[in-house]
Structure 1
């Protein structure tokens, strides 16, 4: 059996699961061990209770990575909600002297932007409290969910509690600082049609290591259109690890 050199831990977006990154799997070479993680209440963890608290979600991911990393070099890749949680997960891992070779954050302008937004809003946006119709419109705006799912009440009713729980994770008040800095390098991806794409470089304020960013044509779910490009960037970023191994 071929030895794996780098483990790739993938953290899904709101409403996603361990299957959300299947589109990327064929484009990563065999030297990368593809490990899509997921929060409870969906996919392979459908029988578990949904998490609605950010700190608890972070703790869940940290436990998974500590169990699975096995002393092998690893990276974390998170899209949207996964990018937000991945940042805090990385900080918690670093406290235990576990340092990802890279944190890849996608579809998210970073914690500094989140803090900036909250200071300039009269009330915090709480999408998890929207009516079903308004929630559907919000999901249409974001993209990533097939229209047939939104049109089919039975299918939507299945996904609805998962999506609401994930939005609550992101939107409820928590005690986490927006000003933390990690030691691991960051590479940020965004679609150029995303609302806050121009603020992608905010991420550079949250690492003591190197920072790079890439803008792709597209909306919030641009990642589905560029799996090969993303895999090339990941391989290039990990070239030193691959050579030394």
Structure 2
């Protein structure tokens, strides 16, 4: 069983702000028969609830890189997929893995139009009501969750921490291009969906972009579609 598991290609799933390793449960269920699924998780949530949240994007990148390197099987190909914050971190993680001569065969980025486009004012330090109004506007939390005060209380520190991590003044957009092919998807009603072709400026390889129905969390209604995209990209890469 272990041999079968270790010989499978790997998929690394990078969660969004406020998310954890279980955020992609339906996707994991779709893909785990064919791939070895890895779910790096940042401190302050899930299995790492007792650890203090990180406050800087570079700390988060270093943390996820450490987890990837720990579980990476060098003899099999792999793909990195990130949604929103996961896509922001994933871009620089791809670049770091390329420098290690262990590039992914693909980078799949959803819910983010690539570096240098979003011009959103900082929200991490807003009062609670305004903070959640902005998070909701960004599509960062469901209407169902908004109805329950105790759920908002639970998610508030985690969401503030993750938005603060991304809004940190030290987080300059790196002037880099990756060598890895990119497949980018955004929801039609996302504010920057029409900027999705921006991703082509950040890779020396191929870049394919799709816009699907839905808002920032279009992924929740499209896990079948995403699993098929990932399966197709990996199968095509492995057939070369």
- Residues 145 and 152 of structure 2 are in contact (CA less than 8 Å); yes or no, is this contact kept in structure 1? yes
- Residues 112 and 178 of structure 1 are in contact (CA less than 8 Å); yes or no, is this contact kept in structure 2? no
Equivalent in the alignment of 1:112: 116
Distance between the aligned counterparts of 2:184 and 2:144, measured in 1?
A: 31
- Residues 5 and 242 of structure 1 are in contact (CA less than 8 Å); yes or no, is this contact kept in structure 2? no
Unaligned runs of 5+ in 1: 118-123
Distance between the aligned counterparts of 1:177 and 1:80, measured in 2?
A: 15
Distance between the aligned counterparts of 1:139 and 1:233, measured in 2?
A: 28
Equivalent position SS for 1:128: coil
Matches within 5 A, 1:139-158: 139-158=135-154
Matches within 5 A, 1:28-177: 28=31, 30-71=33-74, 72-114=76-118, 117=119, 125-174=121-170, 176-177=172-173
Distance between the aligned counterparts of 2:203 and 2:238, measured in 1?
A: 23
Using the TM superposition, give the Cα deviation of residue 29 of structure 1 relative to its aligned residue in structure 2, in angstroms. 5.3
Unaligned runs of 5+ in 2: none
Equivalent in the alignment of 2:223: 227
Distance between the aligned counterparts of 1:206 and 1:146, measured in 2?
A: 31
Equivalent position SS for 1:138: helix
Using the TM superposition, give the Cα deviation of residue 175 of structure 1 relative to its aligned residue in structure 2, in angstroms. 5.2
Equivalent position SS for 1:129: coil
TM-score with structure 1 length normalisation? 0.90
Equivalent in the alignment of 2:206: 210
Equivalent position SS for 2:117: helix
Using the TM superposition, give the Cα deviation of residue 51 of structure 1 relative to its aligned residue in structure 2, in angstroms. 0.6
Equivalent position SS for 1:111: coil
Equivalent position SS for 1:167: helix
Distance between the aligned counterparts of 2:208 and 2:10, measured in 1?
A: 21
Specify whether residues 148 and 237 from structure 1 end up closer, same or farther in structure 2 by C-alpha distance, changes over 3 A only: closer
Specify whether residues 86 and 131 from structure 1 end up closer, same or farther in structure 2 by C-alpha distance, changes over 3 A only: same
Specify whether residues 224 and 62 from structure 1 end up closer, same or farther in structure 2 by C-alpha distance, changes over 3 A only: same
- Residues 183 and 207 of structure 1 are in contact (CA less than 8 Å); yes or no, is this contact kept in structure 2? yes
Distance between the aligned counterparts of 2:172 and 2:77, measured in 1?
A: 27
Equivalent in the alignment of 2:27: 24
Matched pairs, number: 236
Distance between the aligned counterparts of 1:195 and 1:108, measured in 2?
A: 10
Distance between the aligned counterparts of 2:130 and 2:173, measured in 1?
A: 30
Using the TM superposition, give the Cα deviation of residue 144 of structure 1 relative to its aligned residue in structure 2, in angstroms. 4.8
